[in-house]
Amino acid sequence: LPEPTSELSSREVEHVARLARLGITPDEVLKYRDQLRNILHHIEALNRADTSKVPATAHPLEERNVMREDRREPCLPADAALRNAPSREDSYFKVKAIQE
Amino acid sequence: MKLFHRTIRDLHQMLRDREISSVELTQSVLDQIQAVGDRTKAYLLVTKELALRQAHAADERLRSKRDVRPMTGIPIALKDVLCVKEVASTAGSKILKGFTPPYSATVVERLEAEGAVFLGKTNCDEFAMGSSNENSGYWPVHNPWGLDRVPGGSSGGSAAAVASGEAIAALGSDTGGSIRQPAALTGIVGLKPTYGRVSRYGLIAFASSLDQIGPMTRDVVDSALLLQAIAGHDPRDSTSSPKPVPDYLATLGDGVKGMRLGVPEEYFVAGMEPAVEQSIRDAIRLLEQQGASIEEVSLPHSDVALPAYYIIAPAEASSNLARYDGVRYGYQAEGARNLIEEYMLTRQQGFGAEVKRRIMLGTYALSSGYYDAYYLQAQKVRTLIIDDFKRAFTKVDALLGATSPTVAFPLGAKTQDPVAMYLNDIITIPANLGNVCAISVPCGLADGLPVGLQVIAPGFREDLALRIAFAFEAATEFHKAQSPLMGAAA
């Protein structure tokens, strides 16, 4: 396992913000870097627990693979689904070009 | 005593007997909102017209004596994370400003079917992320017990509304303590059901393996009544449990005689205020006098619950909140040159600081190279916490402890230090990770501010949690204490 490091770098903060599609100013990079370092420092306490023989819990429920009949059911009309869209054309969401 | 001071149970009887109408009752609560609402700031939206319309319909139903249910005509507040069809629902976030859901949450539909009256949407920390309500994208909520204090969070608006007479009861949501902690800090009863007990359909998601909707009420009877109305399987939420819902009132009064109640010493955490600890120890003694046997138990992995939570919840949140992209609903930034830039700007301008912090934390924990060290390790720790509870519940019927290590703290006291804020939830988080249920019930005042006793019961044993809480409540007067804002109107 890679050792988690509490010395998160500014570059990593920028990378993570980019992955999360989150615009961030240079001042915020420094602020979040310091705050996240501090949080990660506390989170490292996780390593105090011996989990070498412990399975991971991905979900708390016993029920698995809930199925329903493959039958058409009423669903939201397109107009209702589109009503909150900032920008639309006919029955489509309208977006900007992915590249300029 | 005015109508808004009363409990669901009392009001239900009065409505049934035609002693009062739902319109009168609703008007009494709306008047109290008018009188104190600008001091608590509990609501983001008051739906006065809807409430009066529903109250008239409830009165029709009561008049015809047809299908009168416990919630018929009762004015209830809804945390703003719950979708109500065609009523603005923002989850306390600017990114959802102006959003009107095209459908209602299942809990909302169930309350509508019972004939409940919706007063409005209560303020909360943005996307339910916070312990003080100061992360609301709109404004902070003030505690009715001391207006310079926080009401707790994230369901702080719901808690303040119930504690100030601005609602008879409310729904909140609890991912790491967001029902129980504000209930404790405002002197009301808050119940986090077991994951799967209440449908999450139409709940704006924070962390999908932890979120649960639950009741926030003046007393334990009301908690049982409101849970009864919302619990049960929902085909629209595949994680909702098909287990039958018991009649919670049937066993409420059975007492604690002969019951084994465990006290985890780990829950008396460092930094717990002495007056809070004293209150809790007194409460435990009182339950012993009621005939319970008190046993010390150990939940040895309690100290790693908080760090595990602050990986798992942000990881799930970073994924859930990816949907806020300015395309399908909500806020869209102006001036972007292309789609990626529009995403970046929309999310930069639409989300508040805590939400951004958690999105980044979660994204980091899930990113390549860190997944095993953080996320996988946290999920393994979650197994240890589940096992801690399982082991404890072979020895005792339920567990007792504080809900919050402190009473309500001053506004602004912890906003500069995220870690100090996270520590508020240190004794509520294990119940979410361990998939058990827990209730907070008022157990006294420390320096004039409420303290909550937490009762934790095994998964799907809400009946047991309610029964123990009721035994405590029935032997004490703490739940009758009224906040100054509510009491002044008496």
Query: Would you tell me which residues 259-318 of chain B have a C-beta closer than 8 angstroms to some C-beta of chain A?
Result: 301, 303-304, 306-308, 310-311, 318
pLDDT at A72: 92
Q: Which residues lie below 8 Å from residue B4, measured CB to CB, with a gap of 6+?
A: B25, B28, B29, B31, B32, B165, B166, B168, B486, B489
Residues 6+ apart with CB under 8 A from A6: A37, A40, A41, A44
What are the DSSP calls for A12-23, one per residue? HHHHHHHHTT--
State the amino acid at position B73 in one-letter form.
G
Phi then psi for residue B438, to 5 deg, are -155, 150
| Class of residue A42 by CB neighbours under 10 A (exposed 0-12, middle 13-18, buried 19+) | middle
Per the CB < 8 A criterion, the answer to whether B39 and B166 are in contact is: no
**Measured CA distances, B48 to A57, A63, A83, B226, B364 (Å):** 45, 41, 24, 22, 44
Residues in a beta bridge with B260: B293
Reference B94, options B359, B333, B343, B330; nearest CA is B330
Are A95 and B419 within 8 A, CB to CB? no
Beta carbons of B311 and A59 less than 8 Å apart: no
d(CA B446, CA B272): 12
Name the DSSP letter for residue B371: I
- Residues of B forming the active site: 79, 154, 178
CA distances from B367 to A12, B6, B88, B361 (A): 11, 51, 35, 10
The β-bridge partners of B203 are B82
Please tell me which residue of chain A has the smallest CA distance to B104.
A76
Q: Is the minimum CB–CB distance between A75 and chain B shorter than 8 Å?
A: no
From chain A, the residues in CB contact with B364 under 8 A are: 8, 12, 16, 36
Burial class (CB in 10 A: 0-12, 13-18, 19+), B30: buried
| Minimum-distance CB partner of A4 among B328, B339, B373 | B373
Q: Chain B contact for A33, CB < 8 A? A: no
- How many contacts (CB atoms, under 8 Å) link A and B? 179
A86 near B CB under 8 A: yes
**What is the structure's pLDDT at A2?**
47
pLDDT tens digit at each of 490 positions of chain B: 999 999 999 999 999 999 999 999 999 999 999 999 999 999 999 999 999 999 999 999 999 999 999 999 999 999 999 999 999 999 999 999 999 999 999 999 999 999 999 999 999 999 999 999 999 999 999 999 999 999 999 999 999 999 999 999 999 999 999 999 999 999 999 999 999 999 999 999 999 999 999 999 999 999 999 999 999 999 999 999 999 999 999 999 999 999 999 999 999 999 999 999 999 999 999 999 999 999 999 999 999 999 999 999 999 999 999 999 999 999 999 999 999 999 999 999 999 999 999 999 999 999 988 999 999 999 999 999 999 999 999 999 999 999 999 999 999 999 999 998 999 999 999 999 999 999 999 999 999 999 999 999 999 999 999 999 999 999 999 999 999 999 876 5
Closest CA to B242 of A46, A21, A63: A63
pLDDT at A63: 66
Per DSSP, what are the bridge partners of residue B261? B294, B398
Nearest CA to CA, how far is A36 from chain B (Å)?
7
Residues 113-152 of B with CB under 8 A from A: none
CA distance B189 to B466: 10
Which residues on chain B are in Cβ contact (under 8 Å) with A36?
Answer: 357, 360-361, 364
Instruction: List chain A residues with pLDDT less than 50.
Output: 1-2, 4
Q: Does A74 touch chain B (CB under 8 A)?
A: no
CA angle B292, B297, B300 (to 5 degrees): 155
CB contacts of A89 in chain B (<8 Å) are none
Taking the model in full, what pTM does it have?
A: 0.97
Residues of B in contact with A76 (CB under 8 A): 102-103
Distance CA B431, CA B222 (A): 22
- Residue for token digits 């989170």? A43
The alpha-carbon gap from A33 to the nearest alpha carbon of chain B, in Å, equals: 10
Q: Which of B272, B199, B226 is nearest to B8 (CA)?
A: B226
Cα A63–Cα A66–Cα A69 angle in degrees, nearest 5: 150
Backbone angles phi, psi at B44, to 5 degrees: -90, -30
pLDDT at A6: 52
- Closest-CA residue to B324 (of B91, B116, B133, B483): B91
- The alpha-carbon gap from A50 to the nearest alpha carbon of chain B, in Å, equals 9
Q: Which residue in chain B is spatially nearest to A50 when comparing CA positions?
A: B381
In terms of C-beta density within 10 A (0-12 exposed, 13-18 middle, 19 or more buried), how is residue B248 classed?
Answer: buried
Q: Is the distance from CB of B315 to CB of A83 less than 8 angstroms?
A: no
pLDDT score recorded for residue B490: 55
- In this predicted structure, what is the pLDDT of residue A61? 78
A30 reaches B (C-beta below 8 A): no
DSSP conformational letter for B193? P
CA dist., res. B208 & res. B189, Å (int): 24
Evaluate the omega torsion of the peptide bond into residue B154 and state whether it is cis, within 30 degrees of 0.
yes
